[in-house]
Structure formats: structure tokens, C-alpha cells
Amino acid sequence: MAKKKFSKEWVQQHINDPYVKMAQQKGYRARAAFKLIEILDTEKLMRKGDIVVDLGAAPGSWSQVARERLVAAGGVIDGRVIALDLLPMEPIAGVEFLQGDFREDTVLHQLETMLEGKQVDLVISDMAPNLSGVGAADSARIQHVCDLALEFAVNHLKPDGALIVKAFHGSGFSQIVESFKRHFVRVVERKPKASRGKSSETFLVGQRLKS
């Protein structure tokens, strides 16, 4: 009974959520689009001509935002958006999509082939593992996902590039921050207005790789 009540409450909250309404109005696939928009604006990231890799992209709202930022006159994309996810994703005009498991070397190799040896300006990751509710196991999964994104960024970013990942406050969070600080000159935590108040999600932004 409690579960039913919870899901009903969640549905009600979702329907009345201003960011859900705005996402529908603007044609974004998820309210998460506004989290990325705020981070990009605050940190002054992403310019025309950038190469952007979106890890864990489905359903595609972050790729939609990235595409918008790179569209030049005449609707031509000035730059590249390469999206990757384990799940299928409805096509987005001008966004290159690779379906596969980011944890597998073969998929990573395919992604590197698509990059054609070019370095990346921005890596974005709204990836979150399936959580079990067991604290220690979940924090290990979250840390693993963040480590994978960080490792990819360290190997493929331009020296002045940036990485945005979703993390969660709690056990293991400080270790993720420490990992970022080992590799980036500037590391900040961001909790966008579109993040639900009760959510422990926090986005980490790393800028400029340490040489």
C-alpha cells in the first residue's frame, strides 16, 4: 500500500514539476536538460567548434542541449556531439550515436575510432548505475561509473578541456572528488536548481588537465 501511495505522490509531483513542463514546452526529452544548461552557463563551457562526448546519453536530453549550443547559421552543426549508451536512443539530428557498454574495451575502441584521433573539448556524463539500496554496494557502483568517465576524459581531453559527471553525496563521494583533484586544476561541485531538493545528486566539474 505504501509503495502505491509513494508512486502516486511521485507521479503527482512529476506532473506539477515546473522543469517537466518546461522540458515538454521546449521539446527536451527529460528535465535533466536544465541541469546541464545551468552548469554550462555557470562555468562558461561549450563553444561552437567543440567536440563533445556524452556518456550514458539516453534518452538524449543532454545531447539535445549540446547540439543546440553547436548549431551555427543555417542549422549546420559547428563541432561534433558523440553520444554513447547501453540503451537505444531515438536519433537526434546531427548527433552521432554509439550503442554499447562503456565498460567494455571493444565499445571504448569503437568510440576512439569515431574520434579519429582528435582530442575532446568536453566530456559530459549523466550516467547513474542501477542502485540496489545497499549503501556500500551502491557507492562502489557510483564511484566505478565516475572513475570510468574520469579515465576516459584524462585520456581524450584537450589540455584545457572539461569533464562534467553526476555523483551522489554519501559514502565514497570524497574519494571521487579527490580523484578529480588529482587530474584537474579546477574542481567544483554544482547542485543545479533543476536537481530535486531531496536528491543527493551533485555534479562535479573538472577543468584543465594537470600536466
Place of cell 567548434: 49
Start-end of H helices in the chain: 2-16, 18-26, 33-43, 61-70, 105-115, 135-156, 173-183
- Write down the catalytic residue from 118, 166, 181, 193: 166
Q: Please tell me whether 62 is known to bind a ligand.
A: yes
Contacts 24+ apart (CB under 8 A), 189-196: 190/38, 190/39, 190/42, 190/43, 192/34, 192/35, 192/38, 192/39, 193/34, 193/38, 194/19, 194/31, 194/32, 194/34, 194/35, 194/38, 195/35
Q: Please tell me whether 60 is known to bind a ligand.
A: yes
Q: State the Cα–Cα distance between residues 8 and 176, nearest whole angstrom.
A: 35
Q: Please tell me whether 126 is known to bind a ligand.
A: yes
> Among this protein's residues, is 166 annotated catalytic?
yes
Q: Please tell me whether 10 is known to bind a ligand.
A: no
Q: Please tell me whether 101 is known to bind a ligand.
A: yes
Torsion of CA 24, 29, 30, 31, to 10 degrees: -40
Place of cell 581524450: 156
Report the binding-site residues for S-adenosyl-L-methionine. Answer: 60, 62, 85, 101, 126
The catalytic site residues sit at 166
